[in-house]
Structure 1
């Protein structure tokens, strides 16, 4: 664990810490037992707790009186015992035992049993009075105080209860303290995990003082350093990509200037209607490309992304512009273009340039993967709270990998299906534009034409 900043003391094993708390538990129990035993000895010495044979001693001391007394009175009976007085024939005369209890006690005596109503008994023959006295009692420790005998269990049972209660309380106390200490030791680990989750990697791992936790912290520290290196490498790669994009955008300007200049010169020559349309396509597209290149350079420098400038535009005019872009892109491959519009509102609030760029990216992708003399359908549909533009083509459609990855930056897809005329930015930029409009880009495959199906949807509000 050389990566950790250790405290002065060597980290302890978790088993060692647990053993310490177990020893404290044992020590606490010994103290508790010592306290109970000391209390018992003091109470016995002062007579507050009576020994188990206390009643038998009292009976032995009072036996002569009980034998010779003309009449048995309750005050002559030793405390903590019950009695019954019989004739020599076993007829119940009197006593603290009721008649039913007295009969059971006499039968026990007659059968030779040593057990009485209270557990044990002693029989005293009063020959002069022709009577038999039976005393029933228990051989257990007891209290001298009547109140204690009434409200508390006997001392033996009370001792067991106090021992078990003390054990449970000690276990609860030391478990709580052990858990609290372990939680305190774990705070450093929880802090490190939280910082890594929040990508805050500028921290120093401190030793917890527990060997097992420090092992985990050491692993997290190693992971942190590797993650920092990975993020640094990723940042450097992103920087390189931005520089490449910026350089590419700058390089586009030179051939674009030549194309636009020649197109402007051509516009001054004698042309028929078709040639003028083609020339207009060239000029319009070169102007768009120039705006895109300028914006791409600005994005690479500022890293602020696309700036949305919504304006309310005429929907019919927008659809005409989109159809013109689509037909211009489809001319070379003689692709059949179909336009459909359903329930479209008269006006929509969008950033026209950005949205046309998004549509153009989807259209160019469809044209690229549609075979010569294939079909492309663009459907505009208005819903209750949104507008959808869907482009379907008769190309090969999206693969499972395309559906998952196509909107990621620099995704090129299957190069055998690609013309190589793009850099994997089209659908990524389109999705960014749709997100700026509060909408979404949905990729799928069309069941009718058999090719790709791309839907651009954004809310009306």
Structure 2
């Protein structure tokens, strides 16, 4: 199959238009010759000769004129009567004028020329420009008709050539679009016919190669995530048994007579176990978020989502006597998303705010629209984020002081950030200029309009 560059293809179209135009000109010339030879078009070349013999009869004039494509009128010289002719009634006066003056009578683009002897006067209608012999077509001259024919034909040639060029480009762009939409998919059908355009063939080949590489990378990443989820699940299973035994032993120990110091030690161990279980559950949630294919086309009512979050955090808020304010500036909104993931993400952010907020403090959850996002702003009046926390607070294993027992933000906020990204949004830590700390959780505003 012949291949060519875009420049060559454009030049080919120009050549097609040029050849088509030349062919059109020759076609019009051939048509003109055919119509003239078949006496469908009358042309006066200045050499028209009409025999006016003194002995000629009316029949002789009629026979002679029937061989010519011109209209005529035959007059009797002595009586001035119109004997016979082939003419249009509306033009009779022009024939009469030429007869009476015995000289050429020009009207518009037509000349009425008299040929006379002592008995008869023959007035011949001779067009100054080519015209149709059919009177019904004489409203347009052959010259004008040929110009229109050339213009229409040239437009058709240009349109035909451009449409072929556009169709070829469209097919190549469609192939680019098809490969682009299939980027990263494991099984992309091969093109049956390569592109004739060298530039598009190079682009399509590169896209197919990159698509295969992307598919391999995605598959490798999918396997890594699957392995991580499996490892976390296996670790959870391995840890669960000794952790259960430890909890049981602590419960038995708590039923015995203990000193105040021992009770303090048991309580500390129970809190540590509860913290460990919370962190481990967060790890499991994050691992499932990475691996599982979730649906993001669930119909979510904002008020119902907020009610669920409020009901689950109410006890924790009450235990620390926190003044909670829910401010819904977005109003009644129904949107697309994953209800479970959004619920867990908001829970993680609020739990983090409760855990690191001060007792008897205040937490505000404000929902509003910002640009193309639905924004959830969680603010508490506790200590602001440190400089390190603002930069790395959403890292998976970030701790405030880097020590083994430092304050921990990472897992819960990392999960929330992953949910935001899956909803085409973002998560940002922010210290307001007034006081406190604020977490901005934004998702794309995919409101369902009834």
When the two structures are superposed, what TM-score results if normalisation uses the length of structure 1? 0.57
Q: Say if 1:376 and 1:391, in contact at 8 Å, map to a contact too.
A: no
Q: Per the alignment, do residues 432 and 140 of structure 1 end up closer, same or farther by CA in structure 2, a change over 3 Å counting?
A: closer
Question: 1-side partners of 2:133 and 2:377: how far apart?
Answer: 99
Question: 2-side partners of 1:434 and 1:185: how far apart?
Answer: 37
Q: What is aligned with 2:352? A: 361
Q: What is aligned with 2:331? A: none
- Cα deviation, 1:353-390, whole Å, max 9, x if unaligned, reads 999876443334x26xxxxxx7772448899xxxx996
Correspondence 1:160-309 to 2 at 5 A: 160-196=147-183, 199-203=184-188, 205-206=190-191, 207-232=194-219, 234-235=221-222, 238=225, 242=229, 245=232, 261=249, 265=253, 268-270=256-258, 280=267, 283=270, 286-287=273-274, 289-290=276-277, 293=280, 296=283, 300=287, 303=291
Correspondence 1:23-422 to 2 at 5 A: 23-53=15-45, 57=48, 69-70=77-78, 72-73=80-81, 95=97, 117-118=107-108, 138-150=127-139, 153-196=140-183, 199-203=184-188, 205-206=190-191, 207-232=194-219, 234-235=221-222, 238=225, 242=229, 245=232, 261=249, 265=253, 268-270=256-258, 280=267, 283=270, 286-287=273-274, 289-290=276-277, 293=280, 296=283, 300=287, 303=291, 319-324=314-319, 326=320, 339-340=322-323, 359-364=350-355, 366=356, 377-379=361-363, 392-397=380-385, 402=390, 410=396, 412=398, 420-422=406-408
Q: What is aligned with 1:428? A: 414
Q: What is aligned with 1:12? A: 4
Q: Per the alignment, do residues 28 and 75 of structure 1 end up closer, same or farther by CA in structure 2, a change over 3 Å counting?
A: farther
Question: 1-side partners of 2:113 and 2:196: how far apart?
Answer: 72
Question: 2-side partners of 1:154 and 1:305: how far apart?
Answer: 76
Q: Say if 2:186 and 2:215, in contact at 8 Å, map to a contact too.
A: yes
Q: Per the alignment, do residues 161 and 393 of structure 1 end up closer, same or farther by CA in structure 2, a change over 3 Å counting?
A: same
Structure 1 counterpart SS, 2:187: coil
Q: Per the alignment, do residues 147 and 119 of structure 1 end up closer, same or farther by CA in structure 2, a change over 3 Å counting?
A: closer
Question: 1-side partners of 2:195 and 2:344: how far apart?
Answer: 59
- Give the deviation of 1:241 after TM superposition: 5.0
Q: Say if 2:323 and 2:360, in contact at 8 Å, map to a contact too.
A: no
- Give the deviation of 1:425 after TM superposition: 0.7
- Give the deviation of 1:192 after TM superposition: 0.9
Q: Say if 1:395 and 1:452, in contact at 8 Å, map to a contact too.
A: yes
- Give the deviation of 1:452 after TM superposition: 0.5
Q: Per the alignment, do residues 167 and 48 of structure 1 end up closer, same or farther by CA in structure 2, a change over 3 Å counting?
A: same
Question: 1-side partners of 2:293 and 2:176: how far apart?
Answer: 38
Long gaps (5+) in structure 2: 57-73, 295-304, 328-339, 368-375, 443-450
Q: Per the alignment, do residues 124 and 156 of structure 1 end up closer, same or farther by CA in structure 2, a change over 3 Å counting?
A: closer
- Give the deviation of 1:223 after TM superposition: 2.5
- Give the deviation of 1:42 after TM superposition: 2.6
Question: 1-side partners of 2:384 and 2:366: how far apart?
Answer: 28
- Give the deviation of 1:212 after TM superposition: 1.5
- Give the deviation of 1:203 after TM superposition: 2.6
Larger Rg: 1
| Count of residues in Structure 1 that have an aligned counterpart in Structure 2 | 380
Q: Say if 2:97 and 2:105, in contact at 8 Å, map to a contact too.
A: no
- Give the deviation of 1:216 after TM superposition: 0.9
Question: 2-side partners of 1:394 and 1:305: how far apart?
Answer: 37
Q: Say if 2:400 and 2:406, in contact at 8 Å, map to a contact too.
A: no
- Give the deviation of 1:393 after TM superposition: 3.6
- Give the deviation of 1:400 after TM superposition: 11
- Give the deviation of 1:248 after TM superposition: 7.1
When the two structures are superposed, what TM-score results if normalisation uses the length of structure 2? 0.58
